[in-house]
Amino acid sequence: MIRSLSFTLLVLLASASPCFAKEWAQKMFKITSHEFGHVARGAKTEFAFEIQNLYEEDVHIVDVRTSCGCTSASIAGGKSTLKTWEKGAIIAIFNTKSFTGQRQATLTVVIDKPYYAEVQLNVNGYIHSDVDFTPGSVAFGDVEQGTVLSREVAINFHGRSNVQIADVRSANSHFEVELGDAMRTQTGVTCKMLVRLKNTCPPGYLNETLTIVPADKSMQPIPLSVEGRIVSPLTVSPANLFVGVVAPGESVTKQLVIRAKSAFRILNIKANHEGFTFKPSDQSKTVHLVPVTFTAGADGGDFVAELAIETDLGMGASTTCEVRGTVKLSEATEPVSVRVE
């Protein structure tokens, strides 16, 4: 259920310790620490600490401070105000160009609305001076779904005359990697690597890591950041659907608008949550108006569901829509979300 801070936090701030009083703000972060591990000098090394407003009141982030010049911080997209259920992020950027060795930093997120609170986020890692990448990351940019695209990266090992790469690992099956022969340079050894994005990659943001594993076991594996955005030929509006507050057994119907540049048919719509029914048209057209009906079950509380929309466009183009809502039980059975002992 959506939590209201108004009365509860007034009591907390008046009677509780400072550590206890900031717990409401910490609950909005799923993760408050990150280990970058071993990274190459000059490599693009970032991490997004996701924050989501769980409350009825707007949350405003007024500042983000950092304890060390080895790490800078920013509010993703400048989105400092979050409304109910909205998500944002605090971006921690490891300064691998100016620092080397073991580094750690504390980021302090300062919130001034609806009440003052500070949340501390921690990062650490080891920046190597004997290896770097040119460029510092694999940046694909915006790529239309179904497109094959390649980027080349030079892996430079300094102060070594003979280095071999044993493996390049990735948890993402939509990448292919080709390694060139190692070449000696004035400062060490360089190996060129081609990273290819397959046409099977689904729509969404790419924020992946390739791990470079040297054959010499005394050398640490080094991560290489891969970034981009796979753009679906489909658009869905609204991208985030709110069905409101409903009682068990009650139904509510909303409408999705699904568009593409060329005519298409909707083959299927799936929901990963019970209670949804859909009435898509079986015609081929560029704009589809799809009624979405949700019927609340017996379980109360907030819910989040994802709708997966499949079409007959090339390469099986698909898109998703997030649905949120609250099933409200009667006052006699409704659970209390926040209590002050």
DSSP letter for each residue of 195-249? EEE-TTPPSEEEEEEEEEEESSTTSPPEEEEEEEEEEPS-EEESSEEEEEEE-TT
Distances (CA, A) of 75 to 60, 66, 141, 258, 321: 11, 13, 21, 31, 24
Domain 235-327 is found in CATH 3.40.50.880: no
Query: Residue 2's pLDDT is what?
Result: 53
User: How does strand 235-237 pair with strand 318-327?
Assistant: unpaired
Say if CB 66 and CB 156 are below 8 A apart: no
Q: Whole-angstrom distance between the N-terminal and C-terminal Cα of the chain? A: 20
User: How does strand 301-311 pair with strand 266-271?
Assistant: antiparallel
> Which tokens go with 184?
């000696």
Domain with CATH 2.60.40.10 in the chain: 6-129, 135-231, 235-327
Three-class DSSP category at 108 = strand
Residue among 279, 275, 277, 278 nearest 249 (CA): 275
Neighbour-count burial of 81, counting CB atoms closer than 10 A to its CB (0-12 exposed, 13-18 middle, 19+ buried): middle
Q: What is the pLDDT of residues 95-153, one digit of tens each?
A: 998 898 999 999 999 999 999 999 999 999 999 888 999 998 999 999 988 889 999 99
For 40, list phi and psi in degrees, rounded to 5: -80, 150
Query: Residue 336's pLDDT is what?
Result: 36
Q: Tell whether pTM > 0.85.
A: no
Say if CB 111 and CB 117 are below 8 A apart: yes
The whole-angstrom separation of Cα 225 and Cα 205 is: 13
Distances (CA, A) of 43 to 121, 207, 222: 22, 14, 10
Query: Residue 314's pLDDT is what?
Result: 74
Alpha helices in the chain (DSSP H): 6-15, 18-21, 23-26
3-state secondary structure 270-308: EECCCCEEECCCCCCEEEEEEEEEEECCCCCEEEEEEEE
The whole-angstrom separation of Cα 204 and Cα 145 is: 9
Three-class DSSP category at 10 = helix
The whole-angstrom separation of Cα 70 and Cα 123 is: 10
> Which tokens go with 225?
């950041």
Query: Residue 4's pLDDT is what?
Result: 53
The whole-angstrom separation of Cα 130 and Cα 98 is: 14
Query: Residue 202's pLDDT is what?
Result: 83
Low-confidence ranges of the chain (pLDDT < 50): 6-17, 19-20, 332-341
Classify domain 6-129 at the CATH superfamily level.
Immunoglobulins (2.60.40.10)
Distances (CA, A) of 216 to 40, 91, 126, 219, 280: 16, 33, 19, 6, 57
Query: Residue 271's pLDDT is what?
Result: 94
- In angstroms, how far apart are the furthest CA atoms of the chain? 77
Classify domain 135-231 at the CATH superfamily level.
Immunoglobulins (2.60.40.10)
Q: Which residues pair with 258 in a beta bridge?
A: 236, 288
The whole-angstrom separation of Cα 72 and Cα 117 is: 21
